[in-house]
Amino acid sequence: MMKSRTTRRGLLAGGAAMLASPMLMTRPAAAVTPSEIKARGKVIIGIQGDNPPWGFVNSAGKQEGLDADMSELFARELGVPIEYVQLTVANRIPALTSGRVDLLFATMAMLPERAKVVQFSKPYAANIITLVAPKTLEIKTHADMGKYTIGVARGSVQDTDVTRTAPPGTTIRRYDGDAPTIQALLSGQVQAVGGNIFYIPRLSETRPDVFENKLEFTKLYNGACTRLGEKEINAFVNGFIDKIRANGELARIYPKWMSNPMPSFPDSVPEISFVAS
């Protein structure tokens, strides 16, 4: 009996040692502090792969966009290379909370429901959510939305806004990202889509002067996201954003992708905390 207890204690102690040893950690990301990321030798960043100008892959297979430039500057601040994980709208938060990535630069609009499950940084970009449709369609009020089939990127802010404001019974079709949503509009699967400030330029590449913004839903700010309670990495990201705002680097890259000068950012956003607790 004594031998059994001793053996069990030994196994428990050995198990604890295995859990404590960084060499034996097998989760893809796992690092939660800047020092752990530096020790690992790379930062794993979740980003979108098909949503220009935020995050997309060019013809040479290189990740580009505002979020890619932000990621490059952030990795330079850490002093490590980047491993990108390309994510869809719907799997951004699960990839972060499950530990697949260290943080997100992935068009993450600041929404109260998201702030319950991820930690936002200070904002680094602004966006406006709209309803986009052909100029020939009569859509002047939320009630008019009920006459048409509307497409949205599943799990996006557009999805939330269209679902919230459309009349009961409106047909809403959900797609896995912005690119298939735009294609659904171009192909006639839907008559209107929930979009953002970049939908019209993207649509105009294929069909110039056909589409317009019909309704405006929400003005949003985007931030980087880390996991809840991870104070060190949150503080590091906020310090990084403060730095690139002050030294002009954000003002340099912003118009390159957004076709607008860098906006003024608010000191606070309702129901969103920029500081981990």
Domain-located, residue 118: yes
The CA distance from 85 to 23, in Å, is: 22
pLDDT at 19: 33
CB-based contact 213:258 (threshold 8 Å) = no
Neighbours of 34 (CB within 10 A): 21
pLDDT at 105: 98
My answer on whether 172 and 56 are in the same domain is no
Cα pseudo-dihedral 121, 104, 240, 272, rounded to 10: 0
My answer on whether 67 and 189 are in the same domain is no
My answer on whether 101 and 35 are in the same domain is yes
My answer on whether 159 and 229 are in the same domain is no
Q: Determine how β-strand 150-153 pairs with β-strand 55-57.
A: unpaired
My answer on whether 147 and 183 are in the same domain is yes
CB-based contact 67:54 (threshold 8 Å) = yes
Domain-located, residue 10: no
My answer on whether 107 and 151 are in the same domain is no
Instruction: Give the pLDDT means over successive 10-residue stretches in the chain (277 positions).
Output: 38 35 41 91 96 94 97 98 95 96 96 96 95 97 98 94 97 95 98 94 94 94 97 98 98 92 93 97
pLDDT at 1: 41
My answer on whether 239 and 120 are in the same domain is yes
Domains held by the chain: number:
2
* CATH (domain of 185): 3.40.190.10
The token duo for 100 is 């697949």
pLDDT at 260: 82
Domain-located, residue 1: no
pTM of the model: 0.76
Domain-located, residue 144: yes
CB-based contact 158:214 (threshold 8 Å) = no
Residue 215: which domain range?
A: 128-219
Domain-located, residue 162: yes
Domain-located, residue 150: yes
My answer on whether 251 and 170 are in the same domain is no
My answer on whether 152 and 236 are in the same domain is no
Domain-located, residue 254: yes
Q: Determine how β-strand 150-153 pairs with β-strand 172-175.
A: parallel
Domain-located, residue 272: no
